[in-house]
Structure 1
């Protein structure tokens, strides 16, 4: 494995995951913590946003386990990358009566590969994220044609 240099980073992504308020189980937080502890991702920011009926929006204080649920462990996760405009855009994407987690993370599993590619003169010239639902739908369609 190639050692990563300090200026090498893995791809940095954001997710906005919307939850129905009545279905909150608290399972997502521990699953994210597992990814962080295993070094698969490095968490930069985590912000929980609520959009009430009527459209009022609030950010949730993560240090309050009753409000933040399974994400309360990440109360200190704030790099400053998420700004007010990001919160507004997240709220616009949300449905009323939901809670969402806005997460900025680095795919730290990729750092050794990125370092090796850069050491070999490689440079990313294109990148895209394909939503998992699109991949599952395509695989289901392929499966239907082969059966």
Structure 2
């Protein structure tokens, strides 16, 4: 059987940071995930949108201040994200924000994907539930359980 190049699921996230709330911590945590082999970052694009709505690219290699946390990822340019993706990113952003568009592979899943493929499995559906939705659902469930125990 020929050796197949197996990859984990590839995801993207668009994170928007308002004004002075960008601390660099998110970038630091992403670098830690890479160092631990949990994810592989293919592309990072940092985009700013000023108060008037004009957009600009932030050069990761020359970032300073809170955006400088992404400097460690400045070499992450596979070509999956192209400069024309700037328009789509900008359309989703609010004025006065900075956004990080990150394309990453879930490398932790590679052994699972390989085993599924070797067994003849194939992905027929997938999806993602946003963390905010999960937290809201769990909070609602906890509130119901609390009401049931006091009744």
| 1:37 pairs with one of 35, 38, 63 | 35
Q: Which structure 1 residue ranges, 4+ long, deviate > 4 Å from structure 2?
A: none
- After superposition, where does 1:33-72 map in structure 2 within 5 Å? 33-66=31-64, 68-72=67-71
- After superposition, where does 1:1-147 map in structure 2 within 5 Å? 6-66=4-64, 68-147=67-146
In 1, Cα distance between the equivalents of 2:86 and 2:140?
36
Cα shift readout 1:34-57 (whole Å, capped 9, x = no counterpart): 000101001000010000011110
CA gap 1:138/1:10 in 2 versus in 1, 3 angstroms: same
CA gap 1:44/1:6 in 2 versus in 1, 3 angstroms: farther
In structure 1, runs of 5+ residues without a counterpart are: none
How many residues matched?
143
In 2, Cα distance between the equivalents of 1:74 and 1:23?
20
In 1, Cα distance between the equivalents of 2:47 and 2:116?
38
In 2, Cα distance between the equivalents of 1:7 and 1:55?
43
Alpha-carbon RMSD across the aligned residues, in angstroms, is: 1.2
SS at match of 2:94: coil
SS at match of 1:121: coil
In structure 2, runs of 5+ residues without a counterpart are: 147-151
SS at match of 2:47: strand
Cα shift readout 1:102-142 (whole Å, capped 9, x = no counterpart): 00000000000000011111111100001011111111111
SS at match of 1:110: helix
TM-score, normalised via structure 2 length: 0.90
